[in-house]
């Protein structure tokens, strides 16, 4: 499972090539240093979202191939103590499918008292487990929610579970897993008209909404550039109800570009792309109110890529290193650990895998809509967001 990128090849299940400078953390050849670890705890999911999975699901990994809580703790420890990891996001699949998730969180928290630990979830079952996750040491929650309409939710997720997701978001907030971030993917002709409503709902509940451009990581390979809703179009839809002002804080490698949200001077005003407005001054009020209502983020991996500032490193549910979300190569870490490797040996393999990280989108240039882009064999659920 490898392609020629003009780089030393890293084959799935194979060792990583050497070449990374010693003692440099997770540095790559382009000068980026990964400090944000996205670690998948399981590949299974209990939804079948159209932009991610086929209706019948995917072949799941046998339990014996998944990392145990102890193995996860060991890998996180190597990342934090030896490689400069400063934050952890637990992903899937759907992490809540793991019954021992609280044990995973508690183990990491006991070993790393100050490490931010977040969780990306679809929210199914979160209402019952949010308090225990908070007690275990989880810092905050990201919840995927693409629609507030029950029928549209069912159409997108192929499951009638909207009420469960909404209850999970409320439970996360009540448990103090804040800020609760909401991730939404807009699909043209299905839910893209809901963008203003989703933002109004998030602001009302004190949630931080992030719109994500649909990426070519779907199992059905049905993605097309022409059909996706772009970041500019998302902002345009929001501008029918709100005025967006560039957030003054530093982005610092974050995937989402943030905008402060203000009331629009008039709901009937023509929609505009805020990126093209000549005077976007956070100090200028809207309708006599100069305080923002909150923020909204847009993650534009396709049309406004941020690869040059990427700070992420990924571990799949079976313990493989992925240097880039769109990589075609992986490096096994778990078999080395199970064979009795030292922390130094694990760190060296991880460092070597990240050293040859591609410049962008699994290639040496950006362009998820370019002719030479090849979609990875794994879908998002199998990679871990």
Residue-wise DSSP of 134-165:
HHHT--EEEEE---SSHHHHHHHHSS--HHHH
CA-CA distance, 102 to 88, in Å (whole number)?
Answer: 15
Q: Tell me how far apart the terminal alpha carbons of the chain are, to the nearest angstrom.
A: 20
pLDDT reported for residue 285: 34
Over its C-alpha atoms, the chain yields an Rg (Å, rounded) of 21
pLDDT reported for residue 222: 67
Q: Count CB neighbours of 265 within 10 A.
A: 12
Residue 339 backbone zone (phi > 0: left; psi -120 to 50: alpha; other: beta): alpha
Residue 364 backbone zone (phi > 0: left; psi -120 to 50: alpha; other: beta): alpha
| Nearest in space to 199 (alpha carbons), one of 256, 238, 151 | 238
The distance of Cα 262 from the centroid of its chain, to the nearest Å, equals 26
Enumerate helices (H) and strands (E) in the chain, giving the number of each.
10, 14
CA-CA distance, 304 to 264, in Å (whole number)?
Answer: 25
CA-CA distance, 347 to 187, in Å (whole number)?
Answer: 40
Backbone angles phi, psi at 261, to 5 degrees: -105, 125
Instruction: Work out whether the CA dihedral 195, 200, 205, 211 comes out positive or negative.
Output: positive
**By the 8 A CB rule, do 309 and 301 touch?**
no
pLDDT reported for residue 115: 98
Q: Count CB neighbours of 204 within 10 A.
A: 10
**By the 8 A CB rule, do 42 and 95 touch?**
yes
Contacts of 288-295 with C-beta under 8 Å, sequence gap 24+, read 289/262, 289/263, 290/262, 292/245, 292/260, 292/261, 292/262, 293/203, 293/242, 293/261, 293/262, 293/263, 294/202, 294/203, 294/206, 294/208, 294/260, 294/261, 295/208, 295/247, 295/258, 295/259, 295/260, 295/261
User: Are β-strands 242-246 and 257-263 bridged in parallel, bridged antiparallel, or unpaired?
Assistant: antiparallel
Longest pairwise C-alpha distance within the chain: 66
**By the 8 A CB rule, do 37 and 313 touch?**
yes
Q: In sequence order, which residues have a C-beta less than 8 Å from that of residue 214 and are 6 or more positions away?
A: 51, 185, 186, 187, 223, 228, 229, 302
| Nearest in space to 43 (alpha carbons), one of 69, 68, 61 | 61
* Residues of the chain below pLDDT 50: 1-11, 13, 267-271, 274, 277-288
Q: In sequence order, which residues have a C-beta less than 8 Å from that of residue 63 and are 6 or more positions away?
A: none
Q: In sequence order, which residues have a C-beta less than 8 Å from that of residue 22 and are 6 or more positions away?
A: none
pLDDT reported for residue 282: 33
Q: pTM for this one?
A: 0.86
**By the 8 A CB rule, do 327 and 376 touch?**
yes
Q: Give me the half-sphere count of Cα atoms (radius 13 Å) on the Cβ side of residue 23.
A: 0
pLDDT reported for residue 4: 28
């Amino acid at each position: 499972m490898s392609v020629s990128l003009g780089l030393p090849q890293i084959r799935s299940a194979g060792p990583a090539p050497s070449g990374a400078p010693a003692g440099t953390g997770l540095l790559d050849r382009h000068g980026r240093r990964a400090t944000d670890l996205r670690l998948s705890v399981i590949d299974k999911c209990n939804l079948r979202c159209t932009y991610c999975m086929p209706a019948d699901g995917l072949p799941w990994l046998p339990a014996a191939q998944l990392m145990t809580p102890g193995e996860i703790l060991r890998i996180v420890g190597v990342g934090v103590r030896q490689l400069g990891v400063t934050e952890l996001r637990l992903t899937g699949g759907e992490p809540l499918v793991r019954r021992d998730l609280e044990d995973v969180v508690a183990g990491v928290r006991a070993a790393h008292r100050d490490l931010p630990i977040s969780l990306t979830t679809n929210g199914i079952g979160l209402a019952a487990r949010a308090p225990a996750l908070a007690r275990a040491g989880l810092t905050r929650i990201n919840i995927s929610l693409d629609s507030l309409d029950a029928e549209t939710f069912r159409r997108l997720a192929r499951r009638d579970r909207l009420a469960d997701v909404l209850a999970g978001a409320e439970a996360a907030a009540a448990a103090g897993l804040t800020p609760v971030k909401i991730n939404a993917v807009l699909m043209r002709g299905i839910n893209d008209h809901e963008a203003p409503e989703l933002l109004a709902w998030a602001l009302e509940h004190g949630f931080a909404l992030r719109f994500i451009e649909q990426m070519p990581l779907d199992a059905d390979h049905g993605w097309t550039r022409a059909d996706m809703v772009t970041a500019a179009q998302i902002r345009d839809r929001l501008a029918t109800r709100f005025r967006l002002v560039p957030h003054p804080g530093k982005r610092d490698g974050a995937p989402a570009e943030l905008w402060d949200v203000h009331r629009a001077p008039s709901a009937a005003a023509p929609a505009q792309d805020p990126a093209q407005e000549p005077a976007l001054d956070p100090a200028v009020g809207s309708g006599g109110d100069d305080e923002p209502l909150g923020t909204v983020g847009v993650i534009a991996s396709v049309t406004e890529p941020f690869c040059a500032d990427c700070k992420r490193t990924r571990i799949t549910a079976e313990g493989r290193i992925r240097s880039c979300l769109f990589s075609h190569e992986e490096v096994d870490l778990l078999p080395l650990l199970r064979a009795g490797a030292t922390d130094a040996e694990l760190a060296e393999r991880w460092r070597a895998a990240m050293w040859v990280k591609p410049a962008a989108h699994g290639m040496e240039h950006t362009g998820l809509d370019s002719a030479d882009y090849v979609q990875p064999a794994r879908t998002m659920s199998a990679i871990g967001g």
